[in-house]
Amino acid sequence: MINFDNVSKVYPDGTVAVDGLTLQAPTGKLTILIGPSGCGKTTSMRMINRLIEPSSGVISLDGTDTQSLNRVDLRRRIGYVIQNAGLFPHRTIVDNVAAMPRLLGTPKREARANAMELLERVGLNEKFANRYPWQLSGGQQQRVGVARALATDPPFLLMDEPFSAVDPIVRAQLQEEFLRLQREIGKTIVMVTHDIDEALKLGDQVAVLREGGHLAQVASPAHLLAHPADAFVADFVGTARGYRALGFVTADGTLGVDREPTVRVGDDAATATVGADGWALAVDESNIPQGWVQLGRLNGAQITESDINISGTVAKEFGNLRDMLNSALSSPSGRGVVVDERGVLVGTVSAEAIVAAIRTAKQEVLAS
């Protein structure tokens, strides 16, 4: 556990960056610090490993006051991931990851072998090991940065906006990979982000700071959305909090999923089975959805890949209602596509059925 007990940071010119922060980051969980610019979130995180020294109060790691530890010893217990990875440009990827273990006396062969395992764990295979940072994409470099932070197996991990410097698609991929990794390693993590959607997606708990370094609220993402502490938190979480909250409501299998007619590339449009609205769902040989085809526009011709409308998304059978609703809203047919864990078609669900499920879930929340 990382514990802040009435911690403040006041600079010599009188600027108060953090004011009386009391907060716990539970063991094995991911705590997100978020808030407007100048709220002290980065300062708070950097006080944990004493890159910035607190002016008053106590920060402790599993009950040990960080001020009682030598800075070097302290930082050996804490992994640190920053924007743009901060890799050594003159070292190969495997040697970047092995750098800290080597400094701590781990034999070269052992350190490199462990580094190779970590690279695999963050989604980079052995072909990347002997490349240099400049030969990797931004997203790949961030994966290396995470692997390097984990190389000494620290119990604590600090992450300073680690995914902010990559494009949205890569960012989403990195977030999913990180969630998978955290399920495996269970580190005690404090992360700073300015992105509320990222905070809600990744955090076990989210701490919202207001200007001046005051803690406005700390709660689970679902509780934060449903019960903002005050107008500041409600405004910061955003007007879309109702839609965001659907991401924490599971479609538990009771949502009615309908059987959907399907077609494949090469089928004759004149004889293909079609829904009442003229749309049919295209699938591949493994029954994995590819998109929607409006058969009435093909005049009986064979279906080609260019005839498939790929604008719709898919939702997992036991996923959340937000993904279900998004699938229905993005679908040209108005029917959301539902798949199993392998991506194989289960069926479709109407927007009306999803809205009914949302109403039921809302009533259950209000009754609880």
- Tell me 133's DSSP state: G
pLDDT value at residue 276: 62
Among 281, 278, 277, which Cα is nearest to 262's? 281
How would you write the pLDDT of the chain (368 residues) with one tens digit per residue? Answer: 999 999 999 999 999 999 999 999 999 999 999 999 889 999 999 999 999 999 999 999 999 999 999 998 898 899 988 877 678 889 999 999 998 888 888 899 999 999 999 998 888 888 888 999 899 888 888 889 888 888 888 999 999 988 887 788 888 888 888 898 899 889 999 999 999 999 999 999 999 999 888 999 999 998 998 889 999 999 998 878 888 888 888 876 567 788 888 888 888 877 776 666 788 899 999 999 999 998 877 776 788 898 899 999 999 988 889 999 999 999 999 999 999 989 999 999 988 888 888 888 776 655 55
As for how many domains the chain has, the answer is: 2
**Residue 268 and residue 344 share a domain:** yes
**Residue 132 and residue 53 share a domain:** yes
Continuous segment of H or E residues that includes residue 81: strand 78-81
E strands, 228-366, are 262-263, 279-283, 289-294, 314-316, 335-339, 345-350
Beta-carbon neighbour count of residue 183 at 10 Å?
Answer: 8
> What is the pairing mode between strands 314-316 and 335-339?
parallel
What is the domain-level CATH number for residue 48?
3.40.50.300
**Residue 297 and residue 203 share a domain:** no
**Residue 126 and residue 27 share a domain:** yes
| Contact yes or no for 96/88 (Cβ under 8 A) | yes
pLDDT value at residue 181: 87
Residue 82 main-chain phi, psi, to 5 deg: -120, 170
User: Against a cut of 0.75, is the pTM above it?
Assistant: yes
pLDDT value at residue 274: 67
**Residue 102 and residue 9 share a domain:** yes
**Residue 53 and residue 186 share a domain:** yes
**Residue 269 and residue 234 share a domain:** no
pLDDT value at residue 367: 58
